[in-house]
């Protein structure tokens, strides 16, 4: 949540009136974003530390420049499946050119004041699109519950789901069974917290409770399961562009992928901003600025 601003002729002065609430909200967003940054990065087929770097950039840069006064910029699962397939098919080196082109497309669209046009898209279309992406994420990440990697396609992930469950052997507890147990603990903790959360702790997110509960259980019992490995310095995740980086901007498949990401990301962001605007009577979203 960003600070409110006092509007005066030709001047925008940050107000400290809501600093306490904004600071508290920022802590909640941080606690939610940390595991989400890593989780969505892993679901997208990249290292978790790259997700942390992306979250930092989104929070500082986008938070300072965005056109929506109450919308939080951070990790979202809507593009995870698309990014996963791009990384798998084109390699991680292609992700840089694709995202740079997608950003340029968004900036140009904002300059030409196309932000308002996204409100003409029926929310049902976007919700249907995100629901489809959500199904693909679920069937893919289902296999991660068993310390296994997702398969290359949605139908294959779906077809192999019964085999994962039938392959469990509770008479011979191994890493697969332990990972599935921790997954159930995480899900149970999240659902239980949502249902029985005390009012004094209403700002503590269920996702954080689930992650903490399963982590403490895993460390406390010394369970032998795969863990997220983050280097001592996340700066090690930053790599210079590879040879031939500039030439990839001209590849038709790179341009097509950039257009798809730009459209989906813009639609999801601007429709979310429109939903936020309906929840308050304060400053409205500048859709073109938000798009830029």
Q: Is residue 201 part of a domain?
A: yes
What is the overall mean pLDDT for the chain? 81
Q: Which residue is listed with tokens 């989780």?
A: 39
- In tens, the pLDDT along 173-192 reads 888 889 999 999 999 999 99
SS3 call for 196: helix
Residue 228 lies in a domain: yes
Sign of CA dihedral 258, 133, 56, 86: negative
> What is d(CA 197, CA 202) in angstroms, rounded to the nearest whole number?
6
Question: Which comes out higher in pLDDT, residue 6 or 211?
Answer: 211
> Which class for 76: exposed (0-12), middle (13-18), buried (19 or more C-beta within 10 A)?
middle
Lowest mean pLDDT among 11-15, 198-202, 230-234, 246-250: 11-15
pLDDT in tens, 73-114: 766 777 888 888 888 888 888 888 999 999 999 999 988 988
Model pLDDT for residues 221-269, shown as the tens digit of each residue: 888 888 877 777 888 778 888 878 888 888 999 999 999 999 888 887 7
Does 26 fall in a domain? Answer: no
- The reply to whether 190 falls in a domain is yes
- Which 3 state secondary structure label does DSSP give 6? strand
Q: Is the dihedral of CA 221, 226, 227, 232 positive or negative?
A: positive
Range of the domain at 82: 77-291
In a domain, 92, yes or no: yes
Question: What Å distances lie between residue 271 and 34, 215, 291, CA to CA?
Answer: 24, 35, 11
- Is position 221 within any domain? yes
Q: Is residue 18 part of a domain?
A: no
Q: Is residue 19 part of a domain?
A: no
Question: How many distinct structural domains can be found in the chain?
Answer: 1
pLDDT for the residue numbered 10: 40
């Amino acid at each position: 949540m960003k600070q409110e601003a006092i509007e005066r002729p030709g001047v925008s002065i940050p107000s400290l009136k809501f600093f306490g609430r904004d600071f508290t909200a920022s802590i909640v967003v941080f606690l939610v974003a940390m595991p989400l940054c890593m989780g969505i990065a892993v679901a997208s087929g990249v290292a978790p530390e790259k997700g942390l770097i992306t979250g930092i950039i989104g929070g500082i840069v986008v938070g300072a420049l965005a056109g929506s006064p109450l919308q939080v910029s951070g990790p979202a699962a809507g593009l995870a499946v698309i990014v996963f397939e791009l990384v798998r098919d084109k390699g991680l080196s292609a992700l840089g050119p694709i995202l740079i082109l997608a950003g340029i497309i968004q900036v140009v669209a904002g300059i030409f004041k196309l932000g308002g046009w996204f409100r003409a898209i029926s929310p049902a279309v976007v919700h249907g699109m995100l629901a489809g992406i959500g199904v693909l994420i679920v069937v893919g990440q289902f296999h991660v519950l068993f310390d296994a990697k997702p398969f290359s396609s949605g139908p294959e992930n779906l077809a192999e789901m019964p085999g994962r469950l039938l392959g469990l052997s509770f008479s011979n507890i191994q890493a697969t069974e332990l990972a599935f147990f921790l997954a159930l603990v995480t899900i149970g903790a999240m659902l239980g917290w949502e249902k029985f959360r005390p009012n004094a702790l209403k700002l503590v997110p269920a996702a954080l409770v689930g992650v903490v509960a399963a982590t403490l259980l895993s460390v406390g019992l010394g369970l032998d399961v795969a863990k997220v490995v983050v280097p001592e310095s996340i700066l090690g995740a930053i790599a210079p562009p590879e040879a031939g980086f500039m030439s990839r901007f001209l590849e038709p498949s790179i341009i097509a992928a950039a257009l798809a990401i730009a459209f989906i990301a813009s639609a999801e962001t601007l429709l979310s901003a429109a939903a936020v605007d309906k929840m308050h009577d304060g400053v409205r979203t500048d859709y073109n600025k938000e798009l830029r």
